[in-house]
Chains A and B, each alone.
Chain A
Amino acid sequence: MPRTTSGTRRLFRWIGNGLLLVMLVWTLVPFYWMIATSLKADREIYGFEATLVPHHPTLAAYVRLFQQTPFLKYVRNSTIIAVSTTAVSLVFGCLGAYALARLRFRGRRLIARGLVFTYLVPPSLLFIPLFAMMSALSLVDTHQGLILAYLGFTVPFCTWLLMGYFRSVPLELEEAALVDGCTRLGALIRVVLPMSLPALAVVAFFSFTQAWNEFLYANVFVNSVEVRTITTGLTLFIVEDVFFWGPMMGAAFLSALPPLVVYLVFQRWVVKGLTLGAVKG
């Protein structure tokens, strides 16, 4: 008997929901595992049977995290570095992307392509020469040094993504603003940027998470607790071949929250921006 249209739709909906459920579990289980582990005593973590729910929940790992380690300093440093990287990436990304999308000058295409190539160079190739430069400029072990290093990969991506988006903004709107007496910069700020909020949200989110999660540069360029970020702080819970799972999972869980909050705040624009960026890029 032929299946009705509504029946087929219902089937697809069920399949879709099933897939979503699998993806949801796939995404949330690691978070749950981190929380559960951080609430277990060491004996339970290393017990024969893995327990899904902590049998004797304890906050000992968090007490250790906050009282015996400079975790809050790591959070502060990560925040300073990620927020600054995001802000500077947005400014440079917008200006660069606008210039490449709208202005006509020699080498424009080369620069645009160069951006992609710059982004493609892996940090594992760059960290030694970059460290040499940082060292020469006395930027090792400073927030500024790390921010500058991160801009090396956030600005090209932001510029590239925004460039595609800016091209989709009708030129006539800008021309009208210019006719009305706006400068180029004024047109960018008053016309182009307000229309590009989804793309700005995407690049802001991207820059923030990249800077927040980065490990290699943070490990190589930073020595002191005063500048150390969360990602490198987490590794101090591994001493030789012993893992201090409780505080490490607690710290990992807490450090996953800020990008989550940023995502939730910008969610509406991020989804729209990702879709549009994909089409127009």
Chain B
Amino acid sequence: MTKTNVTRRQMLKTAAAASLATTGPWWLVRGSHAARAKKLVFWQLPNFTPLADQLQKEQVYEFAKSAGLKESEVEYATVANEGFAEKLAAALEAGNPPDVARLYESNVQFYAAQGHLLDVTDLVDKMRREPKGIFDSSLTAVRYNGRAYGVPLAVNPWPVHARIDLLEQHKLDYPKTWDEFIETCKKIQSPPRLFGFGMCLGLVEDTTDNVMNLLWCYGGKMVEADNKTVVMNSPENAAGVKVIEAMFRTHKIIPQGTIGWDNSGNNKAYQSRQAAFVMNPTSIYAYLNQSDPDLQKRTGLFPVPAGPKGTINLIDTWAFGAFKQNPYPELARGLISHFMQPANYDKIIQSTGGRWVPVYKRLFDSPFWKSKPEFKHFVSMAETGRPVSYAGSPTPAAGEVLNTHVIPKMIQRVLVDNWEPPRALEECHRRIEEVYARNLKL
């Protein structure tokens, strides 16, 4: 083997070249960011109706014009839900995020905790000063350390989608309690073509939402309001889990296949008329509006039945976030302000046909929200609804619990591995504690 001597100079040259090659792109990025031309960049997640998308686009250009921007200085991008996180991560790393984007629930606190979002407390305060104000429940998601880092765009309620035609056929009313719900399901279902309850039980986010919503009605919760004390392993939660187990195993009102469902499983079950009841955001209702008006006519939207601790509804919140790294924060704030002017805002919300529930209370006075009995319960849901992280707020830790499917794993321990609920809850409790402890250290 031959031995090669490397001189100090060669070594230094090589090291300099390697340093330049590896750090060059980052220096270039810094330069490009500083030199970014005046431009308004808006990332739009698709709405349910083309009309809502169109209105939103028009409002972006309308604002840009009023701010003295040319059309070429506006970048309106429709970004799919799939791959949104990767796209935003790359844009943030490169120092080139959008000025404004629509963010889901705990993402506001996630990005706020990392220092990426502008403080928009003044914009939210302005909204609160509107006559009748806004629903306080919509603020939980956007507040971080006492300040608002997102502007709540819409309340996203999770009503029970119910087949009222089947209830009428069996001369039944919508059940008021979970016990009645089980009996109703048993009466109207005819498996395998039609099951009573399409409860999502797969290893996905919707399962956490469905399960927690039921557990609340039995007095359970995941974490205390201090966002530190995990209370998953409680007799109340165990009681709720036993009800789910009974619905699945004893009463057989939940189809066995639900343990393999993805987030669209309950949508498909309802849309294919294979489930009489499902708990889901109104995306199903909005879909039916376009694709199956007949089924929409047979559909009612109701609060969840009551447990020993009453009726508690799940809501989540979509919000607009403005990113700090953009060089023209006033444009971003101006655009959000333009969207949230009640007149502009009302047009978009109504064009979604019930998909979005307004955050401004007074907009419910509009005839639109009185036009359909399905909308009747939206106000109370928006007033009293809770985020999935209840009694805590949608912190990054809560987001991690949701995304890592800790609660779905717990329910599958019971339904698939035949664990007793307390044992499954104990394991789940431990995992959630780990997540919260880790996030508190960050």
CA distance A204 to B80 in the complex (A): 30
Among candidates B25, B79, B86, B206, residue contacting A241 with C-beta atoms closer than 8 Å: B206
Taking a contact as CB atoms under 8 Å apart, the answer to whether A131 and B94 are in contact is yes
Tell me the bound Cα distance from A113 to B26 in angstroms: 27
A142 touches B (CB below 8 Å): no
Indicate which residue in B41, B91, B273, B283 contacts A240 across the interface (CB closer than 8 Å).
Answer: B283
* B interface footprint on A16-47 (CB within 8 Å = 1, 0 otherwise): 00000000000000000000000000110011
State whether B79 touches A127 (Cβ < 8 A): no
The answer on a CB contact under 8 Å between A136 and B32 is yes
Task: Name the residue of chain A whose CB is nearest to the CB of B50.
Answer: A68
Look across to chain A and name the residue whose beta carbon is closest to the beta carbon of B294: A43
Q: Measured between alpha carbons, how far is A209 from B46 in the docked complex, in Å?
A: 28
Residues in chain B near residue A141, CB distance under 8 A: 75
Within 8 A of B (CB), among A108-152: 127-129, 131-138, 140-141
Q: B31 to chain A: which residues have CB within 8 Å? A: 136
Q: Does A235 contact B (CB under 8 A)?
A: yes
Contact present for B32 and A42 (CB under 8 Å):
no
Flag whether B267 is at the interface (Cβ < 8 A).
yes
Given the complex, which residues of A lie within 8 Å of B341, measured CB to CB? none
A215 interface residue (CB < 8 Å to B): yes
Interface size, chain A (Cβ < 8 Å)? 35
Most A CB contacts (10 A, CB to CB) among B26, B87, B193 go to: B87
CA distance A95 to B227 in the complex (A): 61
Which residues of chain A from 183 to 239 have a CB within 8 Å of any chain B CB? Answer: 215-216, 219-220, 223-225, 232, 235-236, 238-239
Selected contact of B292 from candidates A42, A48, A129, A238, CB within 8 Å = A42
Q: Does B226 contact A (CB under 8 A)?
A: no
CA distance A195 to B286 in the complex (A): 60
Number of contacts between A and B (CB, 8 Å)?
Answer: 111
Cβ of B29 under 8 Å from chain A: yes
| CB proximity of B208 to chain A, nearest CB, Å | 14
Check: A12 CB closer than 8 A to any chain B CB: no
**Looking across the interface, which residue of chain A has its beta carbon closest to that of B79?**
A223
A279 at the interface (CB under 8 A from B): no
A128 to B85, CA, bound (A): 12
> Is B48 among interface residues, defined by CB-CB distance under 8 A?
yes
Which one, A131, A135, A236, contacts B78 given CB within 8 A? A236
| A47 to B295 alpha-carbon distance, docked (Å) | 12
Docked-complex contact A242 and B283, CB < 8 angstroms: yes
Most interface-central of A127, A136, A140, A238 (chain B CB within 10 A): A136
CB–CB B90/A127 < 8 A: yes
Q: Which residues of A contact B439 (CB under 8 A)?
A: none
Measured in the bound complex, the distance between the Cα atoms of B287 and A243 in whole Å is 9
B32 touches A135 (CB 8 A): yes
B99 to chain A, nearest CB (A): 12
Q: How far, in whole Å, are A206 and B409 apart by their CA atoms in the complex? A: 41
Q: Does B264 contact A (CB under 8 A)?
A: yes
Q: How large is the interface on B (under 10, 10 to 19, 20 to 34, 35 or more residues)?
A: 35 or more
* Interchain CB contact under 8 A, B280 and A140: no
Chain B residues within an 8 Å CB radius of A46: 268, 271-273, 292
Give the residue name and chain of the A residue nearest to B84 (CB): A219
* A132-B94 in contact (CB<8A): yes
A232's partner among B50, B80, B93, B286 (CB-CB below 8 A) is B80
The answer to whether A128 and B90 have CB atoms under 8 Å apart is yes
Question: Which residues of B sit under 8 angstroms from A232, Cβ to Cβ?
Answer: 80, 83
Q: Does B225 belong to the interface (CB within 8 Å)?
A: no
Which of A215, A220, A241 is within 8 Å of B263, CB to CB?
A241
How far is A238 from B287 in the complex, measured between Cα atoms in Å? Answer: 11
- Which residues from B are CB-within-8-Å of A131? 90-91, 93-94
Query: Are B274 and A216 in contact, with the CB atoms below 8 A?
Result: no
Contacts A220-B86, A223-B75, A225-B78 hold; do A132 and B292 have CB atoms under 8 A apart?
A: no
B95 interface residue per 8 A CB criterion: yes
CB-CB nearest in chain B for A129: B25
Contact: A239 with B291, CB < 8 Å? no
Q: Knowing A68-B50, A223-B75, say if A140 contacts B283 (CB, 8 Å).
A: no
From A46, A48, A68, A137, name the one whose CB has the most chain B CB atoms within 10 angstroms.
A46
| Residue from A48, A68, A135, A140 within 8 A of B272 (CB atoms) | A48
Assess the A240–B90 pair: CB atoms within 8 A: no
Would you call B82 and A238 a contact (CB within 8 A)?
yes
On whether the beta carbons of B81 and A238 are closer than 8 Å, the reply is yes
Residues 56-96 of chain B, each 1 if its beta carbon lies under 8 Å from chain A, else 0: 00000000000000000001011111110011011101111
Contact of A48 with B75 in the complex, beta carbons under 8 Å: no
Within the complex, the shortest CB–CB distance from B205 to chain A, in Å, comes to: 9
Closest 5 interchain pairs by CB?
Answer: A136-B28, A223-B77, A235-B80, A46-B272, A131-B90
Which residues from chain B sit less than 8 Å from chain A, CB to CB? 25-26, 28-29, 31-33, 41, 43, 46-48, 50, 75, 77-83, 86-87, 89-91, 93-96, 193, 206, 263-264, 267-268, 271-274, 280-281, 283-284, 286-287, 291-292
Interface CB pairs A-B, < 8 A, 29? A46-B268, A46-B292, A48-B272, A68-B50, A128-B89, A131-B90, A132-B93, A133-B25, A133-B29, A135-B29, A135-B32, A135-B94, A136-B31, A219-B82, A219-B86, A219-B87, A220-B86, A220-B91, A223-B43, A223-B75, A236-B80, A239-B48, A239-B81, A239-B283, A240-B281, A241-B280, A242-B48, A242-B267, A242-B287
Known: A48-B193, A220-B83. 4 other contacts (CB 8 A): A133-B25, A235-B82, A239-B48, A239-B81
Which A residues lie at the B interface, using CB under 8 A?
42-43, 46-48, 68, 127-129, 131-138, 140-141, 215-216, 219-220, 223-225, 232, 235-236, 238-243
